[in-house]
Amino acid sequence: MLLSLATRSTTRVLVALAVLAVGACGPLGSPSPSTTGAPIPVLGAENFYADLLAQIGGSRVTVSSILSDPSADPHQYEASPAAAKLVADAKLVIVNGIGYDDFMQKLLGASTKPDRIVINVQDVLGVKDDVNVHVWYDPATMPQVADAATAALARLDPQNASYFADQKAKYLAALKPVNEKIATLRSKYSGSPIAFTENVAGYLTDAIGLKVLTPVSFMEAIESGTDPAPADVAAERDLLTGHKVKALMYNSQVTSPLTEQIRALAVTSNVPVVPVAETIPPSLGTFQEWQLAELDDLEKALAK
């Protein structure tokens, strides 16, 4: 299910207005950064963390990311010499942890820097290794990462601490339309049954209050790249052919012949398919735009 151009435009306007609202508040307006010194090279292992660094660091950073290919499986990524150089040059790095981007540990270990700051989101959240790795879909995650990134940037560039704080306020303001959309969907559709191919957006659907009927063992097998048990496949198919769910949330970035069959079955069964991804798609500029786009798709599906 693709967003219309009008919906994409509305999404960008909402985010832009939220940013402008914060930038305009206060009698003195937003502080301007000091131009002393070169911008700080920073890196987000995943492009949504890189986007956070770009929004908060503003003109005081140069940003790069490693996982940004919309057709690549992040779980099977193998580091390249180009990625190694990006990590070696970075003074601030954000990694997801929880086993999602373990390749970063090897890259960081190959180019030790005493002044490099590494933010491990798993440590920021204080979660164990057995949780759903896609923590950026939890509405509570990115504000905490924003706090850690702002503190790290202020440590690397103290004279621009107030600038980074103001940029963080803009970032959080741009998240408000996302949180408002989640609240709207929760008020209308809490308890609605849905299916997954893989538990990518589980934190998000939990926040909305949706009920995932797909067998957990089916989702775990898909994520690990193994074949689900025949009984689990049959149960998943029955959810669609029996019209027991209002939507199928489908990992559009990591696919297999089986998940493609499940998606096709949903289409022929007239069950709306809501694509979700593991990195920001090229067509959407920011994390906020990405999340709003997926929520808009979900809302359309649940409304049918």
Span 73-84, pLDDT tens digits: 666 667 788 889
What's residue 79's pLDDT?
A: 72
Q: pLDDT exceeding 90 applies to what percent of the chain?
A: 77
Structure confidence at residue 164 (pLDDT): 98
Instruction: Give the model's pLDDT for residue 113.
Output: 86
* Residue 13 pLDDT > 50: no
User: pLDDT at position 277, please?
Assistant: 94
pLDDT surpassing 50 at residue 21: no
Q: Per residue in 216-242, pLDDT tens?
A: 999 999 999 999 999 999 999 999 999
User: What's the pTM?
Assistant: 0.87
- Specify the pLDDT at position 72: 62
The predicted pLDDT at position 170 comes to 98
Written in H, E and C, the secondary structure of 46-80 is EHHHHHHHHHHHHHHEEEEEEECCCCCCHHHCCCC
Share of the chain above pLDDT 70, in %: 87
Please tell me the least confidently modeled range out of 25-29, 56-60, 121-125, 170-174. Answer: 25-29
More confident residue, 77 or 39: 39
Cβ(154)–Cβ(167) below 8 Å: no
At 4 the pLDDT is 36
Average pLDDT of the chain, as a whole number:
89
Q: Where residue 28 falls among pLDDT bands split at 50, 70, 90?
A: very low
| Mean pLDDT for the stretch of residues 184-201 | 98
Average pLDDT over residues 114-123: 96
Q: Taking residues 247-263, what's their average pLDDT?
A: 95
